[in-house]
A and B are shown apart, each in its own frame.
Chain A
Amino acid sequence: MKKLFLILAFVFLINFVSADIENSHGDAFTDSGNPSSVDGVEIVMNRTVLITTIQYSSGTVAGWCYIYNSSKDHVKNATTIVDHCTINFLAEKGETYYIMAGNDGAQYTREDTTAPATFPYLAPDLNFTDSCFTWGLGGGGGCGGVEIYNIKTINTTDAPNITVTLTEPANDFSTTQTEISFLVNSSSSYFNISNATFNVWYSNGTLFNQTINTTLSSVNSSRLNISDFAVGGYIWNAQVCGKNTTDYLCRWALSNNTFNVGFNLTNIVFNTTTYETESETFQANLTASSTPSSLSFLYAGTSYDATLTSLGGDEYFLTSTIDIPSLNSTNNWSFEWTQGGETTRSANRTQSVTNITFDICNSTLTDAYLNFTFKDETSLASINASVTASTFVYYLGSGLENKTLSFSNITNHSSYGFCFRNATQTLNVNYSISYTLSGYQQRTFTEDIALTNSTTNRTLYLLATGDGLFVTFQVINTAEQTISDVYSSVNRSIGGTSTNVGSGYTGADGSITFWLNPNFPHDFIFRAAGYDEYTTTITPTQSSYTITLGGNTTSPIQDFVKGITYSILPSGNYVLNDTTIPFNFTISTSFWDLDEFGFILRNSTDELGRVNSTSGSGGTVNLAVDTGNDTTIRMDYYWIIDGNYSNSTKIWYVISEEGTGWSLKQLFTDLSTFMTSGMFGLDNFGLAVITFMFIFIFTGILSSKYGLNSPSAISGLIFSLVLFFDVGLGIVPNPIGAVDNFPTILIGIVMVGILIKEGLR
């Protein structure tokens, strides 16, 4: 019985082993085992290969090999010799194939009368699970007596390939043309190239154009012209297909190429690798066919502020500095701006980001940056302590992006080392650690510190429960209002060294409590933004103290217009419709250094564009805008000094010039234009003098001729003339740039005053 069992087990093992199909070419496919190799095999391709031969157990007569796809469509067959067939079938990665070999199908019969009587069976006739269709090994079996051979080995070789090269335009190509010629070259030793499908995407991934080109410009080359490109960044690739008498294959170029239309980005400066939270600057020079505006910086899908500076002509400098967020190991970045009314984005570039880790030291984290030990404040003996709570906010850059470590350990240890990995830069850490030991009162130590791989040691002192008292400090201002978030620190001289024995921030009630030794003087520091720092020395014998922070809580008023002069073009209050108008803002400074200046143009509903500059001494920023059918154009111009934003607004009314070519408007438009370009050396001051003289003489003549002696009548006449020259013609200089039409307003106020005076008389 035992021997019979062993024999059965051996037979079973042999059958099990024989069910595995051997692949002479490594792991090109996986034998699913369904159905068993007795009935044919089902394989799933791990990679694309060429199935060259199929070997099977020797049949009685020559027959056929058959390959069916996952839809059980017959895709390839070949005649066999005694133990194999040569089939040369290109099997694609991920596809499922059914492979069979058997004797000639002419002798096959099947009880299912709907099936064809001879091979190859066509889908859906091929039914591996048909119980009546049990195909036997090496001899007839099942209902029809078909003879299917047991497949042993499927031989494969590396798949014949098509190599695709994107030749024109070259990667990062830039042009101002709207039509571009694309050329793709390809080669294959197995296939004849038949067509190429050109794909062009916008830089955001949206498909711009897809064209199948079946005409080869030369052997293995395909050229295609695509037109109507708008300003922007584009990505392109081509899929080239080849075929021979039996197979068909399509392949893309291994990587996409990019090109730009209407702009060129050069001198691109950035670090290809960085760390989380690190501060990184991205720079590029932009050559644009039209004035760019509304610049932003895109990093890992998030938009950040960026600065656009004119370098003169059509050259611009783009820059943005950000803290690297903790997102992905590889991030895409690009600049995005508005150019010619279109949103334009440069091609994506990648930056690799390495994560940073600050944590309690262990076997894998060994570079200690910060180490805590503990001592008894009275005896100065080293003691163990537990960390009840601690929070470490750490970062490499400015702190806008940071990571947080929360740590606690209720087991007493003599020291706690915190290690940093994956960066060699200075690590900024803002932390607060609360520590205690049985028989001692818990204390908290708070610190903002820059750490390096040279270990920073901190000795934290604990005071026994019987040696101290709780002392609460409430911090208020001179108006006796409590102040929260006041940094409070207390030091004591221990062994001749000033040693911190507590620190932290006041709570919402303005209070903070320390556990202190009442037998020694302590030095206290209280520090809060907007207040003078307060230091004092107290021997804390009371349970509470009140600290008053005073000092100058407000900055002196500063005049950020001092030394600032600016001008705006076009002059006047009207611009023509359907006209591209060059708007510019010129600013100069003799007192302050400018952080930034610029302007934003808007119509009645939308932003039309913006431009800025970071030139400290001022300059001119330009933006040309088509007035279209807008009714008004508004320029919000600004300058920033030491972070203080000063701004004002200028409004133009958009008018139609239809029928105005021979009017008084033409006369004054000419006058304004000629004044801008220069005429007889007449400048704005000269024009102002002439205007004043005209008003003066005109009013005098009327007064003299018609006896206008009333101050009300004369002031009304002057107001009318000033209104006409200032608001109507826009040729009266405005000494107060922040108030539009100030001369008219001033004269109006004077006139109203005179009228009131006359009325009260």
Chain B
Amino acid sequence: MNKRGGLFLGVVIAVVIFIAGVLFIQYMKSDVTSARVSLSCATPDNITDGTKLLCLLIGGAVPYYIIIFISIAMGFVTRAIT
């Protein structure tokens, strides 16, 4: 496989991994919502500082997840380039 074929394969693998990751987001969203509701994240005056910190971590779960898959996908692309 020449360099161009390797780059093409890397991009394809990156896209497949990213799409596969994004497909799982919908299953996370309901869990994130229920967790935030259970922790009463919307009423900060009634929760502890620790709970607030947990709310922040949970609130960022979906973005973290997306960033992870973008990183993996970009890793495949950059490896194919180099």
Contacts and interface: CB of A to CB of B under 8 A. Distances in A.
B54 to A, nearest CB: 11
Contacts of A661: 29, 33
Contacts of B32: 662
Nearest to A676: B44
Interface in B36-57: 41, 44-45, 49, 52-53, 55-56
- Which among B41, B53, B59, B61 has the highest number of chain A CB atoms within 10 Å? B59
10 contacts: A661-B29, A662-B25, A662-B29, A662-B59, A664-B63, A670-B59, A671-B56, A674-B44, A674-B52, A677-B44
Nearest to A680: B49
Given A662-B29, A674-B52, A667 B44 contact: no
Contacts of B44: 673-674, 676-677, 679
Contact of B55 (A663, A670, A678): A670
A746 to B, nearest CB: 29
Given A670-B56, A674-B56, A662 B62 contact: yes
Ranked nearest first, the 10 interchain pairs of A and B with the lowest CB-CB distance are A662-B62, A677-B44, A667-B60, A674-B52, A664-B63, A667-B59, A679-B52, A680-B49, A666-B59, A670-B59
A484 to B, nearest CB: 64
Contacts, number: 42
Contact of B56 (A662, A667, A676, A678): A667
Interface string B11-46: 000000000000001001100110000000100110
Nearest to A681: B49
Contacts of A673: 44
- Which among B29, B32, B60 has the highest number of chain A CB atoms within 10 Å? B60
Interface in A641-681: 661-664, 666-667, 670-671, 673-674, 676-680
- Which among A662, A670, A680 has the highest number of chain B CB atoms within 10 Å? A662
Contacts of A671: 56
Secondary structure of the B contact surface, majority rule: helix
Contacts of B45: 677
A678 to B, nearest CB: 8
Contacts of B59: 662, 666-667, 670
- Taking residues whose C-beta sits less than 8 angstroms from the other chain, chain A's interface range is 10 to 19
B63 A679 contact: no
Given A666-B59, A667-B63, 5 more contacts: A663-B62, A664-B63, A674-B56, A677-B45, A679-B52
Contacts of A677: 44-45
Nearest to A682: B49
Nearest to A663: B63
B55 A674 contact: yes
Contacts of B56: 667, 670-671, 674
A663 B52 CA distance: 17
Contacts of B41: 670
A516 B71 CA distance: 99
A456 B27 CA distance: 94
Contacts of B55: 670, 674
Contacts of A664: 60, 63
Nearest to B50: A680
Nearest to B56: A670
B52 to A, nearest CB: 5
Contacts of A670: 41, 52, 55-56, 59
Contacts of B62: 662-663
A441 B61 CA distance: 98
Nearest to A674: B52
A538 B41 CA distance: 85
A745 to B, nearest CB: 28
B73 to A, nearest CB: 18
A129 to B, nearest CB: 88
A406 to B, nearest CB: 69
A678 B53 CA distance: 11
